[in-house]
Amino acid sequence: MQTAIHRKTIQNSITLRGIGVHSGKVVTLRLHPAEANTGLIFYLYKGTQKIRIPVTLDHVVDTSNATTIGDGGSNRVQTIEHLLAAVHTLGITDCIFEIDSVEVPIMDGSSLPFWEGIRSAGIRVLDETVEPITITNPIWVVDGDKYLVMLPSDELKVTYSIDFNHPLLRGQSYTTTLDESILGSDILPARTFGFLKDVEALQARGLAMGGSLDNAVVLTDDGYLNDHLRYDNECVRHKILDLIGDLAVMGRPFRGHLIASKAGHALDISLAKCIMSQVTGNELTQYKSKRIPLFSKKEAAR
């Protein structure tokens, strides 16, 4: 088991505002400090209602197009992964998120505004600690020609490959270690991406009304609609961002070598569930092995 690390929260409350990618309406998101062991919790404001939705795997209710959490009823908050990627990168384990919409604001389509906002709020190290997730055997999930694997490793690193039916996104791959510095400079600024034909179809259905070149990389049939990219391989870097944000729903720091091919939110969350299943089993076994018996087998036989 890896050495426990201190839990963290933010030093001061901050307010972030941006457009909801689907509604096109302004969303207000407030982040507040929290006590140790609070975890990450959303409070969704709907009129006079204040609905509590913890960020846990048990509360993930949808993974189509984005990761969505809910309270088991009709109350949901979607597109949480960009915010959580920044939260994970900065080691925040305890924080309250207050939001007045069912979707986290898209901001510029990346995690950079969240990362910068949290850093500006300051980070407070708490007295309590948390055990990083340690896996002892490879864990994988497969869906047809898509797969996602996590191998044991003392550091966090990733090998990610995408292969879309597009001349610029065939066989794009990226391998890197993922410490806080690299995540902050090479991954978190990568923007979400989509295809122009898909965006037009979504908007015809009243969705993606807030999507624009200000918050997404948009691909035409043979190129980019944007004037420039932040990285030559910005799309695959954003897939890594999504993966880190999705795995952050586990609520604990994690280490391992992630190997992904054409994965997405559904596989990300499936892997997270498999990881937690193995980790919980291992930790229970270790706990049981340390228990002191109240009497010996010889005494029990008398």
Whole-number pLDDT of residue 298? 43
Whole-number pLDDT of residue 292? 45
d(CA 46, CA 75): 9
What residue type is assigned to position 26 of the chain? V
* N-terminal to C-terminal alpha carbon distance within the chain: 38
| Identified catalytic residue from 22, 238, 257, 265 | 265
Chunked into runs of 10 residues, the chain (302 residues) has average pLDDT values of 86 98 95 98 96 98 96 96 98 98 98 98 98 92 97 96 94 95 98 92 86 95 96 97 98 96 98 93 60 44 42
| Residues paired with 149 in a beta bridge | 140, 259
Whole-number pLDDT of residue 302? 42
Whole-number pLDDT of residue 200? 84
Q: Are 225 and 168 in contact (CB under 8 A)?
A: no
| Residue linked to tokens 């090998």 | 159
Q: Residue 273's CB: how many other CB atoms inside 10 A?
A: 15
CA atoms within 13 A on the CB side of 27: 24
Indicate whether this model's pTM tops 0.75: yes
d(CA 6, CA 143): 36
Q: Is 243 left (phi over 0), alpha (psi -120 to 50) or beta?
A: alpha
Question: Is 265 marked active-site?
Answer: yes
